[in-house]
Chains A and B, each alone.
Chain A
Amino acid sequence: MHRVSLPRIGTAKAWRDAARGFLAAGVPPEHILWGDHAAAPDLFGGDSPPPGGGTVTVPRSFVAMAETAVWHSDPERFARLYAFLWRLKDAPHLMADRGDAELAKLRQMEKNVRRCQHKMKAFVRFREIGAPDAARRSFAAWFEPSHHTVEPTADFFVRRFSDMDWRILTPDISAIFEQGELSFHQGYARPDLPEDAGEALWITYFQNIFNPARLKVQAMQSEMPKKYWKNMPEAALIPQMIAQAPGRADAMAAAAPTLPPARMAPAQAQLASCASAWDGPAEDLPRAIRACTRCALHCHATQAVPGEGPADADLMVVGEQPGDLEDLSGRPFVGPAGQMFDSLAAEAGLDRDAAFVTNAVKHFKFVARGKRRIHQRPNTSEIHHCRWWLDAEIAQVRPRLILAMGATAAQSLTGNGTAILSRRGRIETGPNDLPVLITLHPSYLLRTPDAAERARATAQFRQDLTTAAGIIAQEAG
């Protein structure tokens, strides 16, 4: 009778060496008494080392299984492994027979160890024991595994936490990693680890990531058995969380829908401003513009006024915004300024009906004073919101030239609405690199009180229209 007692640290290698020796020497399983370090001395024999090793061939899958199953806490594991190894000697195909009772038992042990290893990877909780600003931070954990899993699992922690010092203390074996060196030691008694600020945050997280409307306590316990709870800081709260959950869920269901907060409107306006270009079908665009609620102007105006003209116009004329008449009729350029534009265009040889006319802002902005509506200049944010529609119109018409009349149109198309008088007559770059000819707005001609100044501005405007007509004719020719 041979008796072998295997050491507490390095068990796997010791068993493998011993088993190889016995197998090579042809010692049958019933002649070996296997024991771990904890086994009581046997009455029938002292320790007898196995005969010197030899070469033995075994299926690779057995080695892999044995390397894991050997860490099981069952004292019979060594004997079972050797007994199966003995049978395997003559029938290597046994490894593929999942119906074999002995193999099934060993696979079960292997699975238990793997599960225990997995739980160790998951449920070890470190607490900081050094200074948080030290070059190499230092952590410690107390863990109570069901099997002898510290040794085979330690490398996982090395791969993961190698830039810090850590120690995992257990009643069985302890793993200590310092300055990049891993070592194993005997078991410890449960230490008092210092409080850790990170733990309070973790508990906050654990409490809040849980949805009380869907309680599944069994599902939780099957994956996180209660035996692990005492070493997990968050687990202390579980009973309380379960108890409060139904009440919280009922309260949610019972609460009446609330009114939206006051900041909703500005937030949604922000959304409207960052949306990308309108991409619906062409014939729907005017309707979409009419339904626009992107900025607050729609609340006061009668209607939005989409552009008008041939869908393939070479020239696009962009004014400022609809006026009183446009707002009522829903068509662009029908008021006094529009009529002025029409007559001057005819004089300059520009076919107004061949151009697509529209406005930089689609809703009329005004203040009501007595019985009159006083036109107000659109502000930057309104121009910005409406740019979306203008872009959609430009994308559809794809003109060769855009005539920007006045500061608002210039700002919308070029991003700059200043110093119009000095910029007029010049061609600048607009959206999609289209040329934009800057000119005055016809209402400027109408409102200028000084006759001489008005005549000069009118001449300039007519000149710009001629330039535009020239460019279009040239391009067409």
Chain B
Amino acid sequence: MARQTLDQKLAILSDAAKYDASCASSGSTRRHSRDGKGLGSNEGSGICHAYTPDGRCISLLKILMTNFCIYDCSYCINRVSSNVPRARFSVDEAVRLTIEFYRRNYIEGLFLSSGVIRSPDATMSDMVQIARKLRHEENFRGYIHLKTIPDASPDLIAEAGRLADRLSINVELPTDSALAQYAPEKKPEHIRRAMANVRMARDANKERTFTGKRPPRFAPAGQSTQMIIGADGSNDATVLRQSTRLYASYRLKRVYYSAFSPIPDSSAKLPLIRPPLEREHRLYQADWLLRFYDFGLDEITSVTRDGNLDLDIDPKLAWALAHRGVFPLDVNRASRELLLRVPGFGIKTVDRILATRRHRTLRFEDLLRMGAAMKKARAFVTAGGWTPGSLTDSADLRARFAPPPEQLALF
């Protein structure tokens, strides 16, 4: 076989990485290279340097170290039984690409994942070597996200955590049984044990030593995971229950939901039906409600028909429509907790309402200026000069928000 050029390898190995949903580069320690001795900075909030037509941003150079893999996970394009072209970056190539892209301001850092070659330990150790070279030889201070291999030895994970900003381990599927069916070589208990280890290492590195010195930070941007939606039959309630458990057990920063997308050369085990991308979006919205709006899991799932979120309207609106007795709320008197339940009010809007109403009474126009989505919220609030009247209880309220029914073709 002819030797592949760097360009060919990059094409194969970035193509193989496009199914990873995570590209976040925020929330790590702040650092910079103003001293002129290194390259890169980390500002706390990430920057999306480009967007592709699939609507997703590019903030990191997201590549696989190699797409050779000895596992046979049926949802994965890189599984051993797939016929995709294979390639492998050397350590130097991965380092050079990262540095050259970074210098031209194309990226925020590196997101390195890999197929498993030879053994989980051998693979992980090569990935760690790339991160080590970036940090210690190139003095790279940008963001590094390593996707760890769950079976790799704890020593390697520990070193990875000291070098990288974020570690992630994919749970892949919402239930253990689905994992057993579609990813026979992956063990749910190994994945959970690996996540537990990362959490314990992070906790341990937060405590100061006797002398008051802080130990080196361990994966300061936390750990995350990814779940594939729509490959197995799990409903949204199952998915959300699993992610609530993950957030609680391992203090995950994010759970990414990735709608199963048809892959070239797909396995006969999986249907080639594309789940609606909207489902992914609704799951993120529900996830947000759980983490930042104090919603309970059963509050979200109790208003669904079959455990699946409504694809036409967002989960907060679905909850509000099912609990119209709570509304309309008076924006000048309601508590923060209740205001957060109003569809169309975000956390920032609610904070602005609370700050302003200390001085004066709020009117409808004020809410518009504060950035509230009043098209949605108007049915659920009263303010100076505004009452929704019978709108709150009107029978067609849902129809006002849901997309219009589609006319079916006659032929």
The 6 A-B pairs of least Cβ separation, nearest first, read A216-B55, A99-B366, A219-B55, A260-B81, A274-B119, A159-B32
Chain A hits for B267, CB < 8 A? 257
Are A217 and B55 in contact (CB-based, < 8 A)? yes
Chain A hits for B370, CB < 8 A? 98-99, 104
Are A268 and B70 in contact (CB-based, < 8 A)? yes
Known A-B contacts: A206-B52, A270-B119, A271-B70. Give 20 more (CB < 8 A): A99-B365, A122-B47, A122-B48, A158-B34, A160-B41, A163-B36, A207-B11, A209-B58, A209-B62, A210-B52, A213-B262, A214-B54, A215-B54, A220-B52, A223-B51, A232-B50, A241-B52, A253-B272, A257-B266, A268-B80
Are B104 and A198 in contact (CB-based, < 8 A)? yes
Within the complex, the shortest CB–CB distance from B379 to chain A, in Å, comes to 21
Question: Is A89 on the interface with B (CB-CB < 8 A)?
Answer: no
What does the 1/0 interface line of B313-348 toward A look like (CB < 8 Å)?
000000000000000000000000000000000000
Chain B hits for A141, CB < 8 A? 105
Are A161 and B47 in contact (CB-based, < 8 A)? no
B16-45 interface with A by 8 A CB criterion: 17-19, 32-41, 43
Chain B hits for A213, CB < 8 A? 261-262, 274
Are A122 and B356 in contact (CB-based, < 8 A)? no
The stretch of A123-131, A401-409, A435-443 in contact with B is A123-131
Subset of 26 A-B contacts with CB under 8 Å: A93-B359, A96-B355, A97-B355, A98-B352, A99-B356, A125-B105, A141-B105, A159-B34, A161-B33, A162-B36, A180-B36, A198-B103, A201-B6, A202-B106, A208-B10, A208-B12, A209-B14, A214-B277, A217-B55, A219-B55, A220-B52, A223-B51, A241-B53, A257-B267, A257-B268, A258-B82
Chain A hits for B10, CB < 8 A? 201, 204-205, 208
With contacts A261-B81, A268-B70 taken as known, whether A99 is within 8 angstroms of B105 at the C-beta atoms is no
Counting chain A CB atoms within 10 Å of each CB, the highest count among B51, B119, B267, B355 belongs to B51
Chain B hits for A268, CB < 8 A? 70, 72, 80
Q: State A97–B267 Cα separation when bound (angstroms).
A: 59
Chain A hits for B106, CB < 8 A? 125, 198, 202
Question: Is B290 on the interface with A (CB-CB < 8 A)?
Answer: no
Q: State A245–B39 Cα separation when bound (angstroms).
A: 37
Q: Which of B34, B61, B352, B363 contacts A205 (CB 8 A)?
A: B61
Question: Is A312 on the interface with B (CB-CB < 8 A)?
Answer: no
Residue of A nearest to B31 (CB): A159
Give the interface size bracket for A toward B: 35 or more
Within the complex, the shortest CB–CB distance from B198 to chain A, in Å, comes to 19
Question: Is A164 on the interface with B (CB-CB < 8 A)?
Answer: yes
Are A252 and B262 in contact (CB-based, < 8 A)? yes
Are B277 and A164 in contact (CB-based, < 8 A)? no
Are B80 and A214 in contact (CB-based, < 8 A)? no
Within the complex, the shortest CB–CB distance from B97 to chain A, in Å, comes to 7
Q: Which of B35, B81, B359 contacts A97 (CB 8 A)?
A: B359
| A positions within 8 Å CB-CB of B | 93, 96-101, 104, 118, 121-128, 137, 139, 141, 156, 158-164, 180, 196, 198-202, 204-220, 223-224, 232, 234, 238, 241-242, 245, 249, 251-253, 255, 257-258, 260-261, 263-264, 267-268, 270-271, 273-276
Residue of B nearest to A239 (CB): B53
Are B262 and A126 in contact (CB-based, < 8 A)? no
Question: Is B214 on the interface with A (CB-CB < 8 A)?
Answer: no
Chain B hits for A260, CB < 8 A? 80-83
Chain B hits for A252, CB < 8 A? 262-264, 266
Are B262 and A96 in contact (CB-based, < 8 A)? no
Within the complex, the shortest CB–CB distance from B76 to chain A, in Å, comes to 13
Residue of A nearest to B62 (CB): A209
Chain A hits for B40, CB < 8 A? 160
Residue of B nearest to A251 (CB): B264
Give the interface size bracket for B toward A: 35 or more
Q: Which of A98, A127, A207, A271 contacts B71 (CB 8 A)?
A: A271
A-B contact count (CB 8 A): 226
Within the complex, the shortest CB–CB distance from A86 to chain B, in Å, comes to 19
Question: Is B360 on the interface with A (CB-CB < 8 A)?
Answer: yes
Chain A hits for B355, CB < 8 A? 96-98
Q: Which of A104, A160, A210 contacts B53 (CB 8 A)?
A: A210
Are B359 and A204 in contact (CB-based, < 8 A)? no
Are B48 and A216 in contact (CB-based, < 8 A)? no
B387-408 interface with A by 8 A CB criterion: none
Within the complex, the shortest CB–CB distance from B193 to chain A, in Å, comes to 11
Are A137 and B36 in contact (CB-based, < 8 A)? no
Are A267 and B7 in contact (CB-based, < 8 A)? no
Chain A hits for B121, CB < 8 A? 274
What does the 1/0 interface line of B191-206 toward A look like (CB < 8 Å)?
0000000000000000
Q: Which of B51, B101, B118, B262 contacts A198 (CB 8 A)?
A: B101
Residue of B nearest to A260 (CB): B81
With contacts A97-B356, A99-B370, A163-B37 taken as known, whether A206 is within 8 angstroms of B50 at the C-beta atoms is yes
Q: Which of A125, A206, A218, A249 contacts B104 (CB 8 A)?
A: A125
Chain B hits for A163, CB < 8 A? 33, 36-39
Chain A hits for B62, CB < 8 A? 209
Chain B hits for A242, CB < 8 A? 53
Q: Which of A96, A124, A199, A224 contacts B358 (CB 8 A)?
A: A96
Residue of B nearest to A93 (CB): B359
Q: State A212–B56 Cα separation when bound (angstroms).
A: 12
Chain B hits for A270, CB < 8 A? 70, 118-119
Are A220 and B33 in contact (CB-based, < 8 A)? no
What does the 1/0 interface line of B274-286 toward A look like (CB < 8 Å)?
1001000000000
Question: Is B207 on the interface with A (CB-CB < 8 A)?
Answer: no
Residue of B nearest to A101 (CB): B369
Q: State A101–B266 Cα separation when bound (angstroms).
A: 56
Question: Is B15 on the interface with A (CB-CB < 8 A)?
Answer: yes
Question: Is B232 on the interface with A (CB-CB < 8 A)?
Answer: no
With contacts A198-B100, A202-B104, A249-B262 taken as known, whether A209 is within 8 angstroms of B41 at the C-beta atoms is no
Within the complex, the shortest CB–CB distance from A387 to chain B, in Å, comes to 15
Q: State A271–B61 Cα separation when bound (angstroms).
A: 29
Are A206 and B356 in contact (CB-based, < 8 A)? no
Are B104 and A216 in contact (CB-based, < 8 A)? no
Are A264 and B80 in contact (CB-based, < 8 A)? yes
Counting chain B CB atoms within 10 Å of each CB, the highest count among A162, A205, A263 belongs to A205
With contacts A211-B19, A224-B50, A258-B83 taken as known, whether A99 is within 8 angstroms of B7 at the C-beta atoms is no
Question: Is B49 on the interface with A (CB-CB < 8 A)?
Answer: yes
Residue of B nearest to A199 (CB): B104
Q: State A397–B167 Cα separation when bound (angstroms).
A: 38
Within the complex, the shortest CB–CB distance from A278 to chain B, in Å, comes to 12
Chain A hits for B17, CB < 8 A? 209
Q: State A87–B277 Cα separation when bound (angstroms).
A: 49
Question: Is B259 on the interface with A (CB-CB < 8 A)?
Answer: yes
Counting chain A CB atoms within 10 Å of each CB, the highest count among B33, B52, B353, B358 belongs to B52
Within the complex, the shortest CB–CB distance from A89 to chain B, in Å, comes to 17
Are B36 and A209 in contact (CB-based, < 8 A)? no
Within the complex, the shortest CB–CB distance from A170 to chain B, in Å, comes to 15
Chain B hits for A271, CB < 8 A? 70-71, 80, 116, 185
Question: Is B265 on the interface with A (CB-CB < 8 A)?
Answer: yes
Question: Is B246 on the interface with A (CB-CB < 8 A)?
Answer: no
Chain A hits for B83, CB < 8 A? 258, 260-261
Are A205 and B360 in contact (CB-based, < 8 A)? no
Question: Is B112 on the interface with A (CB-CB < 8 A)?
Answer: no
Chain B hits for A216, CB < 8 A? 53-56, 277
Within the complex, the shortest CB–CB distance from B105 to chain A, in Å, comes to 5
Are A196 and B272 in contact (CB-based, < 8 A)? no
Chain A hits for B43, CB < 8 A? 156, 159
Question: Is B362 on the interface with A (CB-CB < 8 A)?
Answer: yes
